[in-house]
Chains A and B, each alone.
Chain A
Amino acid sequence: MDPLELIVAGGVLAAGTFAFRFAGPVLKARFTVSPKAEKLMARSAVVLLAALVAVAALTEGHEFAGYARPAGVLVGGVLAWRKAPFALVVVAAAATAALLRLAGVP
């Protein structure tokens, strides 16, 4: 691909991404936000992150990601729910998926 074309495409993606990131903090500062609206916005972020977790854990592209990855995330989730230390949650999730793959589970 032509370098100039690549720079322009990357630049447009960067500018658009920055606009998404910048709009919230700037617009929010211009208005007084009620505590109720504040709560809804925080909840929206929680819902988005949860959806991201589900999609990232279970799917790859448009398809099922296989069993190893969701199994790892599930182990991490159970540990987190039982209030295990964060490091254990992350390492256990990765180790579960890695070991299952080593054992031949897709």
Chain B
Amino acid sequence: MRSIWRTTTRVLGRDLLRDIGLVCLADTIVGISYGAIAVGSGFPIWAPMLLSVLVFAGASQFMFVGIIAAGGSPVAAVAAGLLANARHLPFGFAIGDVLGKRWSSRVVGSHLMIDESVAFALAQRDEERRKAAYWVCGIGLFVCWNVGVLAGAYAGTAISDTDAFGLDAAFPAVLLALVLPSLRDRAARLPVLVGVAVALATTPFLPAGLPVLLALVGVLAGVAAKEPAEREPEGVH
């Protein structure tokens, strides 16, 4: 275990480890609020903890708890949660290789697939760093998230309003900082612009999760825009 840690620090470097640590800290606080909100709205203490260990996807857990607390049916809560989590399917295609070839590591690694671990992995250039960033972020967040939820479920409403700390702005900023380097590649800009526009335009009408999936239209737009441009020289001249 110690040698794994030593290798990881060597591969990732102190800066990246500190960055991941910061995200873990922020996630712990959101976990505390999630645990507190769930218990505060009438769930037994084990319920938010069970979801955090088994589902491990913050947004869908908040939705699940919110819908049931508001008197919605469990079927509606499950459907909303699944829709919010469907983006993990394309995530898996993008970073599947970092999970390794062994089945055990694929099973464990898949469960650690969340926005942050995917974004940290994608932001690394070489293979070894990509792998290390994914696993360290995934394991770190799994531990911190669950510890936070446990603390929140027991401590109650100590931290119920994370918006007061601006944490709701910190999470998009984390992902934005990790995605920005990819936008320096010109070919990625059109797909991202179209995707963002589609997601924002459909958010007022569609259930949560679907607008983000529809952003994939941007990838198609990128492919479609690129091909005529490549053929143009021979057609025109």
The chain A residues found within 8 Å of chain B, CB to CB, are: 1, 3, 5-14, 16-18, 20-29, 40-59, 61-63, 65, 68-73, 76-77, 80-81, 85-87, 89-99, 101
Contact = CB atoms under 8 A, between A and B. Distances in A.
In which size bucket is the chain B interface?
Answer: 35 or more
A76 B169 contact: yes
B11 interface: no
Contacts of A47: 188, 191-192, 195, 215-216, 218-219
Contacts of B54: 10-11, 14
B74 A9 contact: yes
A86 B122 contact: no
B164 A90 contact: no
A10 B47 contact: yes
Contacts of A98: 164-166
Interface in B183-214: 183, 187-188, 191-192, 195-196, 198-200, 203-205, 208, 211-213
A13 B177 contact: no
A76 B188 CA distance: 21
Contact of A18 (B77, B111, B115, B179): B111
B169 A57 contact: yes
A94 B81 contact: no
Contact of B96 (A16, A28, A91, A94): A28
A94 B211 contact: no
Given A25-B106, A59-B200, A73-B169, A13 B78 contact: yes
A55 B87 CA distance: 14
Given A47-B192, A86-B19, A97 B180 contact: no
Contacts of B5: none
Nearest to B163: A101
A89 B177 contact: yes
